[in-house]
Amino acid sequence: MQLKEQLINDTSGLPLIVYYRGNYEDISTETLINIIESNEKLANRKSQLRKVMFLSVEAIQNIQRYSAHKGSQSDFYLVFFDGDSYQVVTQNLIHNEDSEDLKARLDALVSKDVSELDELYFNKMESGETTEKGAGLGLIEITRKSNKSIRYEIKKVDEEYSLFNLYFALPINIKEETVFDFSKAISIQAKLDQLSAASESCFYYGGDFSNSFISSLLGLLVSKKAEKKSNDNKKVHHILIELTQNIKKHAQFHNESARGRIFIEWKDEHIEVSTYNNSQLDNAKELQKKVVDLNGSNKEQLVQKSKEVLADLESTNGLGLIDVANLIYPNKINVSVFNQSNDHVGLLFSIQINNE
């Protein structure tokens, strides 16, 4: 089984997962938060989702402020909801010389009880004590608001750098303090590490595919500085709109799990977009036939097909995949099928958009 398929299956029970790995100097915090917020309608406990958003701002800004920013592949933010709790993992590169100080600060925070943390927080607020990179309130805030579930790891990479991982959780049933088991987060993180290793940056999402999500996703792409240099970004945006709306249109779900999955991988030569959703067997067969036909068509034939489907105003035939085939030509649409049951099947679409 391919890595993406494994990851889809391993995360299939998660109603929400958002992951972005790349250069955090390059994107705005707000765009990632908006993506989480676009799932508000589906959240059972909206107050917890708001809290996740609030603490995620702190966590993402910590990456932006404190990362050593050597190579964009190391830094990431991951959040997921498994029905019981929201779990957040961040990773950023730090200079080895800073690791002892960071460790001491975190150990000191973890050793305090909630009232001591509150006192520390308000003292810092009142004193107006700030550093060049902020007041250092972010970690205190995350520690106190996550019921001290935080855990961290600092792993030396080489003589100059270490990787800093921060974990925290917000369970739906709030307890005073939580000794949290992050084994699921660590296992998902390991798969995402493998997947994103060959990319300059990587985005993975599962959740609601409403238009609010699509707008937020386009916001993330627009905020990527590298995107602005490329005339191709509009092409990517059009393709994302069609593929994500296809997920919503065709996906069949019987439970609370996410409606589908999307991967965006920014590589040296191209951007790869993959989408996954369940579909009824008959519908999936039709789509596969359509893809074979589109992949066998040359540019003129694709333009002609588009014109014919468009001109037939009464027909409900979709133009979406024809548009995608046109935009990525001469590349092809790749579709693979897995997780087949008697009446349903999982469809994974992948396309590559060349950088010009």
Tell me if 351 sits within 8 A of 272, measured CB to CB: yes
Q: Of 61 and 306, which CB lies nearer to other proteins in the complex structure?
A: 306
* 235 near other proteins, rule: CB under 8 A: yes
Which residue in 349, 337, 345, 334 sits closest to 279, CA to CA? 345
Q: Of 215 and 340, which CB lies nearer to other proteins in the complex structure?
A: 215
* 319 near other proteins, rule: CB under 8 A: yes
Minimum distance of other proteins from residue 129's CB (angstroms): 41
The span of 12-20, 181-189, 227-235, 283-291 binding other proteins (CB under 8 A) equals 227-235
* 179 near other proteins, rule: CB under 8 A: no
Which of 58, 227, 265, 323 touches other proteins by CB under 8 A? 323
Which of 215, 295, 340, 354 touches other proteins by CB under 8 A? 215
* 212 near other proteins, rule: CB under 8 A: yes
Alpha-helical runs (H) found in 183-319 = 183-196, 211-223, 225-229, 233-250, 281-295, 299-311
Q: Of 6 and 215, which CB lies nearer to other proteins in the complex structure?
A: 215
| Cβ burial, residue 275 (10 Å; 0-12/13-18/19+) | buried
| Cβ burial, residue 325 (10 Å; 0-12/13-18/19+) | buried
Tell me if 321 sits within 8 A of 291, measured CB to CB: yes
Q: Of 236 and 347, which CB lies nearer to other proteins in the complex structure?
A: 236
Minimum distance of other proteins from residue 303's CB (angstroms): 8
3-state secondary structure of 11: coil
CA-to-CA dists, residue 154 to 94, 149, 251, angstroms: 9, 17, 41
The span of 103-111, 162-170, 226-234, 281-289 binding other proteins (CB under 8 A) equals 226-234
* 326 near other proteins, rule: CB under 8 A: yes
Tell me if 259 sits within 8 A of 208, measured CB to CB: yes
Q: Of 106 and 271, which CB lies nearer to other proteins in the complex structure?
A: 271
* 211 near other proteins, rule: CB under 8 A: yes
d(CA 221, CA 115): 41
d(CA 193, CA 178): 27
Q: Of 115 and 231, which CB lies nearer to other proteins in the complex structure?
A: 231
* 41 near other proteins, rule: CB under 8 A: no
Q: Of 188 and 240, which CB lies nearer to other proteins in the complex structure?
A: 240
Minimum distance of other proteins from residue 79's CB (angstroms): 22
- Maximum CA extent, the chain: 70
Over its C-alpha atoms, the chain yields an Rg (Å, rounded) of: 22
* 310 near other proteins, rule: CB under 8 A: yes
What is the binding site for other proteins (CB under 8 A)? 211-212, 214-215, 218, 231-232, 234-235, 237-238, 241-242, 245, 248, 303, 306-307, 310-311, 313, 318-320, 322-323, 326-327
